[in-house]
Amino acid sequence: MMERLCFLIHLFEDAGSEYDQRHDDIWPEMEEAVAAAGFRNYSLFRLGELAVGYAECEPDIETVLEKMAAFDVEHKWNASLIHVIKNAAGENGGLINVPEVWHLKMKNSKE
């Protein structure tokens, strides 16, 4: 089973370029933790002070977020972004889950 996750991240005013740069220079151990937790097809998009993320979670969102929270690098990463992301110290690094309303399923798809 795999679940899709869409989330919002609110940035402080004028913190967008630093947010972009931090992800250009993402720590290799952070990337490893993201993959090990079960995130797949993970993407971030940004428009001004709003970042939007999309990821597929295996086996499910709850399990992946629990695994991610167990990594020390996750807590260090969130702490390093405290001046960039509003509520970075909050649950799940300040992510605001966006409920899925609709998903196009192709006739030959196994989804």
Residue 35 Cα distances to 38, 42, 52, 89, 95, angstroms: 5, 9, 19, 22, 18
**Residue 103 has which token pair?**
């998903």
Let me know if 83 is a catalytic residue: no
Read off φ and ψ for residue 41, nearest 5 degrees. Answer: 45, 50
Confidence (pLDDT) at 94: 67
Of the candidates 71, 59, 64, which has an alpha carbon nearest to the alpha carbon of residue 95? 64
Helix (H) or strand (E) holding 26: none
| Residue 99 · residue 33 · CB < 8 Å | no
Strand partners, 97: 7
Confidence (pLDDT) at 84: 95
Confidence (pLDDT) at 93: 65
Q: What is the pTM of this model?
A: 0.87
What is residue 38's DSSP assignment? T
Q: One of 23, 75, 83, 103 is an active-site residue; which one? A: 23
- How many Å apart are CA 107 and CA 111, to the nearest integer? 9
Confidence (pLDDT) at 111: 60
For a pLDDT cut of 90, what percent of the chain falls above it?
81
Confidence (pLDDT) at 19: 97
Q: Outline where 1-111 has alpha helix (H).
A: 16-24, 28-37, 61-69, 72-80
Q: Beta 50-57 vs 3-10: how paired, if at all?
A: antiparallel
Low-confidence ranges of the chain (pLDDT < 50): none
Confidence (pLDDT) at 42: 97
